């Protein structure tokens, strides 16, 4: 009977430690990890925004160059007439 009570006492003690949750060190590590992930996400968002902006600028520049070439061609054709 003593063995049964000992087993129950050990199980209850183990359960109480598990039920307490993470320690302060573990909480700090989890918060630091969450902050690192948030920072990484912000950097990735910034890089994506920069790439989108660069693509928009490249497209605008190409459109402007095409329009300028078209205008020059039209002007040259009008001078010839």
pLDDT single digits (tens) 29-75: 999 999 999 988 888 888 888 888 887 866 765 566 665 556 656 55
**What's the confidence (pLDDT) of residue 80?**
52
* Closest among 3, 21, 33 to 41, alpha carbons compared: 33
Neighbours of 53 (CB within 10 A): 10
Give the model's pLDDT for residue 48. Answer: 86
pLDDT band at 18 (very low <50, low <70, confident <90, very high): low
Rounded to whole angstroms, the Cα distance separating 33 from 27 reads 10
Question: Do 30 and 22 meet the contact criterion of CB atoms below 8 Å apart?
Answer: yes
- Please tell me the predicted confidence (pLDDT) of residue 4: 86
């Amino acid at each position: 009977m003593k063995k049964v009570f000992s087993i129950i006492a050990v199980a209850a003690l183990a359960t109480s430690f598990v039920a307490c949750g993470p320690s302060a060190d573990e909480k700090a590590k989890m918060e630091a990890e969450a902050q690192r992930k948030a920072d990484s996400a912000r950097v990735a968002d910034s890089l994506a925004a920069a790439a989108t902006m660069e693509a928009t600028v490249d497209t605008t520049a190409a459109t402007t160059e095409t329009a300028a070439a078209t205008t020059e061609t039209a002007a040259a054709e009008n001078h010839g007439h």
